[in-house]
Amino acid sequence: MRVFYAYRDAPERRNALQEPRGAPERYRLFGLDEIAERGAEVRHNLEGPAPPGWARAAAAAINRPLYGMGGYGGDFASVLAALRRADAADVVFSTVDTVGLPLVLLKHARLLRRPIVYTAVGLPERLEQLRGGRVRRLYGDALRETHTIVAYAPSEADGLRDWIGPGGPEVRFVPFGVDVETFRPEPDREPEVDVLSVGADPRRDFELLLAVAARHPELRVRIVASGERARSLRNRPENVSVETDLPLATVRDRLASARVLALPVRDNTYSGATTVLLQAMAMAKPVVVTRTQAISRGYELEDGVNCRLVEPGDVDAFERALLETTTGADAGRSLGTRARQTVERSFSWERYTNTLWEILRAAT
């Protein structure tokens, strides 16, 4: 079986592709190595350097009218540059909407023939931005031509089924997974900070955490974010430190050295800080996380059992849960132990890649 992976063209993805197999950074590749180990021939859209000038010019020529007519574009450049490789595969696996939307639009225009397995990460929010019936029909028709749409949240899967309507592809909720060997507990590690928060997506509510930190200067708080997101965090209290754009191995180290992981998130259908949530749970860390639609179902989370769940935007409730978890050593250990058990039982990386393999094979 020949599988073509389509990635967002980002430095962290290119860096991961340069790492040897088994390196923590390869975790960012959505099972590419595991699919290859099953005997598949795997290629992707980032095999060469930056897309050539003709692809960038063509992308601009496509995106400009798309946005002008009320649509939503994406990274046409890296997709067009690799279109021949994609069409030589048996199935195309899009890992994110940035390349997924260009792929389905190109397939709708008959420039790509192969079946597409499309991973949606915030697609309902993008579709809501479409303006006009003509544009909505265009994207609806294009999405109906995919073989399978994968969503990491039941709420996102439900929203996409409703939006696409009858005659659409299978929309399947697939829980994300974590490598339980790479992310193992380190029980003898002394905490360097009381509270750690990690995230690059725009839904992460770091401002809520800063408000809690300002109320409790005795807490040592560390935030790991993208450089762009970090620059938006103004008036940080003195007890808050910020690090940016860390490699995954360093993020794992930061998780190991924290007492509690705090994940405040603004409500939405797709982001519940799922990746770092599962990583921390695998390391038996107590987690205080916002009960967004994305994780309220499907991830076996129970408040007070394997994590602490707080309603979106509730600063006081988040503060109470964080203080109870940080100061209650026994309670924190119990949460962490049960969190690890939950991940081992239901959300291993092996289970995720097995499901992905099943979906890709079905598409061929």
Please state the domain count of the chain: 2
State yes or no: pLDDT of 316 exceeds 80.
Answer: yes
pLDDT tens digits, one per residue of 50-94 = 999 999 999 999 999 999 999 999 999 999 999 999 999 999 999
CB 320 within 8 A of CB 262: no
- Are residue 164 and residue 203 in the same domain, yes or no? no
Residue 138, domain CATH: 3.40.50.2000
148 lies in the same domain as 199 = no
Residue 187 inside a domain? The answer is no
Q: In this predicted model, what pLDDT tens digit does every residue of 225-246 receive, in sequence order?
A: 998 889 999 889 999 999 998 9
pLDDT tens-place string over residues 324-358? 999 877 778 899 999 999 999 999 999 999 999 99
Q: Which domain holds residue 13?
A: 2-177+349-363
Residues 136 and 263 in one domain: no
Count CB atoms within 10 A of the CB of residue 143. 25
Please check whether residues 163 and 272 belong to one and the same domain. no
Q: Are residues 148 and 202 in the same domain?
A: no
Residue 217 shares a structural domain with residue 117:
no
129 and 56 both lie in a single domain: yes
